[in-house]
Structure 1
Amino acid sequence: MLLKTRGPVLAALLLISLGALFMPGRSNAQEIVPNVTQEMLAPDFWINKLPDPDSLLMERETIESFNRDILRTLPDLVYDLTSYPATLGRNQLIKLIKQRTFPEEDRYSKGVKVGQAYYEGLLLQMNLPGIEEQNSITPALTVRRTNIRTFPTADESLEEPEDHDFDLFQETAISPAEPVLILHRSLDNQWYFVQTYNYNGWMPAADLAVAGNRQIWLDYVQPGNYLVITGNRLKLGHGPYPGMELTMGVKVPLRMDGAASGRTYTIELPARGNEGELVIETALVPAGEGVSVGYLPYTRANIIRQAFKILGEPYGWGGLSNGRDCSAFVQDVYKSFGFMLPRNSDEQERSAGVTVKFTGADRNQRLVLLDSLEPGASLHTPTHELLYLGRHEGLYYAIHDVTSVGDPVHPNPDGSPGRLTLNKVVVSDLSLPRRNGQQFVDALTSAKQLDYGSKSLEPGRDYDVEVYVNGSPVSFPGQGSYLDKSACRVFVPVRTISEALGAYVDWLAEEQKVVVRKGENVITFTIGQKYFSEGGRDYPLEASAVIVNSRTMVPLRFISEALGAGVVWKQEGNGGVVDISL
């Protein structure tokens, strides 16, 4: 969710026609974004730039392993609901329910500023006295698109009386057929405090079907065969709730005996019985491009295709107005492949995967780091998230769900950029100014690639690389040095080269972290992360450490220079020689 609150390449990035930021008479938001041509609005424009776009990045089993890494990385944010505790103690449940406090600043509801009595009424509805010493957890399924609210009310909470686009009691929207756990009930029984796999809060009781039989719920949540919605939206004409809309990434059980001449699929959907109990009914879904039996293959091409299916869709804060916000856009793209991403941008930034840190990097370093990314990486600023598309004619592009950007052509009276409202998923380059006038490229804090930073196979070595330290050859038993052409870096085993330079190496297996010590100098880095730490500061890495044949391989120049050595590369025929001198 959005947080409401030099050289030729550099020259090319700065060459922006500010007049293009506002073009009178053009109503389409995408048409007023500068530096974007019509051909860039097609996924194939970006896919055709890739050397191997259909290469499989992860098998299904590897994605499941990656999801377990997400659970370990964010244990208080992302859950495997099937292994959630059967009961919660009183203090634990109260802590969850009271984690969000009532606002202290002015808020408006129904055009009127709310007072203390209003919040006292909400506190009463939260039914904290009804929490027992031990509280049973009840499984359920959503029967329609619904909302998770900060408190048990559908009332808007606005900073301005008419600012309906930003209801600050709206946490997130939840798709139909989503598994949830009921942790508590409101005083009037009209609201449930629920836990989804990546969020908790108050949900209307009428939008849930309660599973009296846990096994029936488990069978629905863990089906042997399932259909995944891969289009942006699929509206059903049949089933328990005609007109129900399933959105990208939704998974529903598939009855394999239900196909009719290959033109339709029979799926299972949750419905509410007379007492709100879970009833499983069926619906027909047309076979076609908008659905997939099982998750989509995880490829760069498919990441881009999924993102462009949402291009032009209106923005919706926390899922309001049946829309998405910036982090929900990224979440749904990756749900198509079976990833269990956390909900909000800052949480996704901290999640598992390869992290590239931009903090502290100057403009030229930022461009180098962007060049190291693969399309599909998420880009993060303090208040926004984008999906990286790649570089074109010296500019770096992303697709993102954005409310507004800066408009320097029409500044505010104080000289700050005016507001250019987009409220859509758009393609833009990163020189686009934010509301505060800062370009997106300069606001980036990190990038995240949903990938492992290790390789199961040894990279191809087109070069034989010899390494010398102070004139003496260094041998690398078990895994030799090699030139990774994709990274344009020579990689060597970290322990061997560090010890040759007089340093000591510790391996922290649980954290996948390497600690290199030489005198008072301590260097730390993590497998797959494109930064290292030294002296309490983080610095960018152009290529991350990887594990090859049980050896931690690092860029030779990085580790050598970090340990105070000079490095000289000499090209010799089909190979190369690296001279390291202390």
Structure 2
Amino acid sequence: MRLGYWLILLLCFGSSCLQENVYAKSDIPMLTTDHLSADFWLAKVADADQLLLTSAQISARNSKTFALQPEMNRLADLPASLPAARLAAIIDSASASAKHPRFYANGEAVTASQWQTYRQNLNSEAVKADNPVRFALVVKRTDLRSMPTEDRVHNEQMALDLDRFQETALFPGEPIAVLHLSSDSNWLLVQNYHYTGWVQAADVAIGSRQQVLDYSEQTPFLLVTGARATTSYTPAVPAISKLLLDMGTRLPLLSTDDTGHNVHGQNPHASYIVKLPVRNSDGSLAFTPALIARQQDVSIGYLPYTPANVLKQAFKFLGDRYGWGHDYDSRDCTGFIIEIYRSFGLLMPRNSGQQGEGRYGSNIRFSDQSSDSDKLDAISQARVGDLIYRPGHVMLYLGSDNGEPFVIHSVHELAYFSDMGATEDSQTQSTPALYQGILNGVAVTPLTPLRLSADHSYLDKIYAIKSLR
């Protein structure tokens, strides 16, 4: 009996050691299993439940962002039509020619003839002297692209996860303005609140301006607060069955007064009833009720904007695959940040440069002459949820552990100097080697070891810290 007791203890001890060793072998320096929990970081925040901005202050902040950032678009302010010169300029900007060679996944370069085919589908010759602006609602998660094609193209490094035609994504119920139609009639040039690009026509439903704008403002509303949610399986209406909904998606709420007690063959007592847009066979807009089970991660209205909720929202994405431009039904660095803050009703520009260079929020800016010490001093004063920018990338600050600042971010690359594989010179002095691995997902990392190359660290390229308080 005593022997069996010690065997059990030994097995338990061995199992726990094995679990720890799994993380000890991580190629992310300084990382421990504790760092992978929002609670670990929340324990370091004295005022984690402090309300940072009220709903009225968030609304005012959004108004300021729209006023200061030219890439932000209030759809209600769009004119009834666009003159030829303005629409042509929008097409040229959304579908600008690549500055560097592009390649298909098989390694073949995109030829001049192939580029011409893409450009012909822009249908620029169809631009009229006066071009009506139409309005639509998105009916399913869909890609927004720089060219009206599903073809994927890549840079010279052949990073196949990065499709250079992919810009961002649009989400069910999102209002958009429709500006133009492709030559093959399969794509629409559209504008949402912070981006312009091409979307497949089959994924949107055209309605009146008033229908579309009213839908986006309806209250009460249900907000997706999980990394993702889905509507219930609905065999009677396949278009709304198991529909993917990303964090921050806002849908009007209905009640049984609107629908009765049978919604497409299911009793709604244990679900939320939402109003979803659907596309008629002619492309026009209609609406139908849909169910979202109450066990899903959703909220009636926006979440309170507190440090605790910022961290909890961020960690809901931990381990998700990196998705350039919201590819792979996922998100990139800025998409990750945008969806966290949409949970509170805060709206932001789409690209990291637009965010980091933007004048909204409280900014600490660094010049080329700023030292790493200057930056570390500023980071030590940052608060949880603040945003740290380097060219092409944004990170959310978690706090520090043992003096090292940590961040959570959706990131593709991983590089740092390591003693493993170090070389020795004639004086037998060890020179650390540059380790290059991959993250390709939402990860928690220390800040100071990370490198872009042997010559440049993340730290020396940081140019701004932004606080949305």
**TM class by smaller structure:** 0.7 to 0.9
Is the helix fraction higher in 1 or 2? 2
The counterpart of 1:297, out of the listed 300, 304, 309, is 304
SS at match of 2:149: coil
Distance 1:115 1:60 in 2: 51
**Distance 1:412-1:144 versus aligned 2 partners, 3 A rule:** farther
Cα deviation digits, residues 3-36 of structure 1 (max 9, x gap): xxxxxxxxxxxxxxxxxxxxxx988899331212
Partners of 2:410 and 2:443 within 8 A in 1: yes
Distance 1:353 1:79 in 2: 18
Distance 1:300 1:93 in 2: 42
Shift of 1:282: 1.2
Cα deviation digits, residues 354-399 of structure 1 (max 9, x gap): 0011333223222221122111011000121100011221111110
The counterpart of 1:436, out of the listed 436, 453, 461, is 453
Partners of 2:275 and 2:288 within 8 A in 1: yes
1:211-226, aligned counterparts within 5 Å? 211=207, 213-226=208-221
Partners of 2:416 and 2:449 within 8 A in 1: no
Amino acid in the other structure paired with 2:362: V
The CA RMSD measured in Å over matched residues stands at 2.4
Partners of 1:416 and 1:436 within 8 A in 2: no
Distance 1:73 1:104 in 2: 28
1:492-531, aligned counterparts within 5 Å? none
Amino acid in the other structure paired with 1:243: K
**Distance 1:155-1:184 versus aligned 2 partners, 3 A rule:** same
Verify: 1:70 aligned to 2:70, yes or no: no
SS at match of 1:82: helix
Tell me the equivalent position of 2:6.
none
Tell me the equivalent position of 2:405.
396
SS at match of 1:311: coil
Partners of 1:270 and 1:281 within 8 A in 2: yes
Shift of 1:339: 1.0
Distance 1:177 1:117 in 2: 38
Distance 2:296 2:25 in 1: 25
Verify: 1:327 aligned to 2:334, yes or no: yes
Distance 2:171 2:25 in 1: 27
1:200-349, aligned counterparts within 5 Å? 200-211=196-207, 213-238=208-233, 240-257=239-256, 263-288=270-295, 290-349=297-356
Shift of 1:350: 2.5
Amino acid in the other structure paired with 1:71: F
Verify: 1:425 aligned to 2:442, yes or no: yes
Tell me the equivalent position of 2:91.
97
Shift of 1:435: 3.1
Amino acid in the other structure paired with 1:428: T
The counterpart of 1:183, out of the listed 166, 179, 191, is 179
SS at match of 1:32: coil
Identity of counterpart residues, as a percentage?
Answer: 32
Shift of 1:104: 4.8
SS at match of 1:50: coil
Distance 2:306 2:314 in 1: 13
Verify: 1:446 aligned to 2:440, yes or no: no
Partners of 1:223 and 1:253 within 8 A in 2: yes
Verify: 1:192 aligned to 2:188, yes or no: yes
Amino acid in the other structure paired with 2:212: W
**Distance 1:28-1:245 versus aligned 2 partners, 3 A rule:** farther
Shift of 1:148: 1.1
Shift of 1:296: 0.4
Cα deviation digits, residues 312-351 of structure 1 (max 9, x gap): 1010111121121111100110010011111111111133
Q: Which is further off, 57-66 or 431-440?
A: 431-440
1:11-160, aligned counterparts within 5 Å? 31-75=26-70, 77-99=71-93, 100-109=95-104, 111=106, 112-160=108-156
Amino acid in the other structure paired with 2:247: M
**Distance 1:106-1:214 versus aligned 2 partners, 3 A rule:** closer
Partners of 1:230 and 1:290 within 8 A in 2: yes
Tell me the equivalent position of 2:374.
365
Cα deviation digits, residues 117-146 of structure 1 (max 9, x gap): 112212211111111111111111111111
How many pairs does the alignment contain? Answer: 425
Tell me the equivalent position of 1:566.
none
Structure 1 stretches lacking a partner, 5+ long: 1-24, 452-582
Amino acid in the other structure paired with 2:465: A
Partners of 2:366 and 2:462 within 8 A in 1: yes
Partners of 1:419 and 1:435 within 8 A in 2: no
Q: TM-score, normalised by structure 2?
A: 0.85
- Identify the structure with bigger relative contact order (alpha carbons < 8 Å, sequence gap 6+): 2
**Distance 1:343-1:412 versus aligned 2 partners, 3 A rule:** farther
Tell me the equivalent position of 1:469.
none
